[in-house]
Amino acid sequence: MGDLLKDKRALITGGSRGIGKSIALAFAGEGAQVAIADYGDEAVAAETVEELKALGSYAAFALKGDVSDPEFAKVAAIHMKDIFGRCDVLVNNAGITDDGLLLRMTPESFERVLRINLTGAFLMTKEISALMMKQKRGGIVNMSSVAGVKGNAGQANYSSSKAGLIGLTLTTAKELGSRGITANAIAPGFIDTAMTQALNDRQREASIAAIPLGRPGTPEDIANLAVFLASDRASYITGQVICVDGGMII
């Protein structure tokens, strides 16, 4: 608990569980007022909101919706303005996988993963950065992946979306830097969440064998960097892609 994010207003997509929840709780623990946007189970989101309030984010709220819906992104920006008065930090964390070998992957699967993981981040960035531009400050953190940096067999859709997020991050940093807005990407490796728990034992073992530090990461490992990137201590860092992966990328 500290005050690195004291009085900041943050919106975290996919914030009701996993890495997004961990980021939301860490932000609240550092003094931020936090909103989460998620299309999952409302009861799970409500539980996260209660935990956020207990940490001092007394005005925490959850929005139910799909980040790949342009109307939802607009509604999210309106809620941030109406309830929090502004948005200082946007974390584009919502994401899905739908793995399969390239030759068997359907165009529908490819497009669905791109739509949620990449178009969703674009839509949220477009609407929320309009608020940030008026404030002349803001920080955007995009959740990419090591799979977006070096590819991954069985994840043509996912790794393409995560590589695309890096392009979005770099362009956002260039376009909005003059307005005092930073944009950075985190590229997690293999992190213990529901997403990776869906893998079979052989896939898990192969992933862990590729990690020099010899263990999966925790959602808190990712949240630690997200807190720093969202804080004023990182105000001169933009357009960076930082791997948090126990060395998996090397």
Interface with ligand NAD, residue 237, by CB under 6 A: no
Nearer to ligand NAD, 72 or 84 (CB): 72
Interface with ligand NAD, residue 122, by CB under 6 A: no
158 is catalytic: yes
Separation between Cα atoms, residue 93 and residue 76, nearest integer Å: 15
Q: Which of 39, 58, 158, 236 is catalytic?
A: 158
Q: In this structure, are residues 134 and 91 in contact, taking their beta carbons and an 8 Å threshold?
A: no
Nearer to ligand NAD, 38 or 88 (CB): 38
The piece of 53-61, 82-90, 94-102, 171-179 that touches ligand NAD (CB under 6 A) is 94-102
Residues in 2-41 at the binding interface with ligand NAD, rule: CB under 6 A: 13-14, 16-20, 38-40
The least CB distance from residue 178 to ligand NAD, in Å, is: 28
**What phi and psi values does residue 27 have, to the nearest 5 degrees?**
-65, -45
Nearer to ligand NAD, 34 or 116 (CB): 116
Interface with ligand NAD, residue 125, by CB under 6 A: no
The least CB distance from residue 7 to ligand NAD, in Å, is: 26
Residue by residue, DSSP assigns the chain as ---TTTT-EEEEETTTSHHHHHHHHHHHHTT-EEEEEESS-HHHHHHHHHHHHHTT-TT-EEEES-TT-HHHHHHHHHHIIIIIS--SEEEE-------B-GGG--HHHHHHHHIIIIIHHHHHHHHHHHHHHHHT-EEEEEE--HHHHH--TTBHHHHHHHHHHHHHHHHHHHHHGGGTEEEEEEEE-SB-SHHHHTS-HHHHHHHHHT-TT-S-B-HHHHHHHHHHHHSGGGTT--S-EEEESTTTT-
Interface with ligand NAD, residue 191, by CB under 6 A: yes
The piece of 90-98, 131-139, 177-185, 230-238 that touches ligand NAD (CB under 6 A) is 90-98
The piece of 46-54, 166-174, 192-200, 232-240 that touches ligand NAD (CB under 6 A) is 192-200
Length of the chain as a residue count? 250
Q: In this structure, are residues 188 and 143 in contact, taking their beta carbons and an 8 Å threshold?
A: yes
Interface with ligand NAD, residue 61, by CB under 6 A: no
Tokens of 51: 């935990």
What character string, x for contact with ligand NAD (CB under 6 A) and - otherwise, covers 131-170?
Answer: ------------x-x-------------------------
R_g (Cα) of the chain, nearest Å: 17
Nearer to ligand NAD, 85 or 206 (CB): 206
Interface with ligand NAD, residue 113, by CB under 6 A: no
Interface with ligand NAD (CB under 6 A) = 13-14, 16-20, 38-40, 66-68, 93-96, 116, 120, 143, 145, 188, 190-191, 193-196
Residues with a known catalytic role: 158
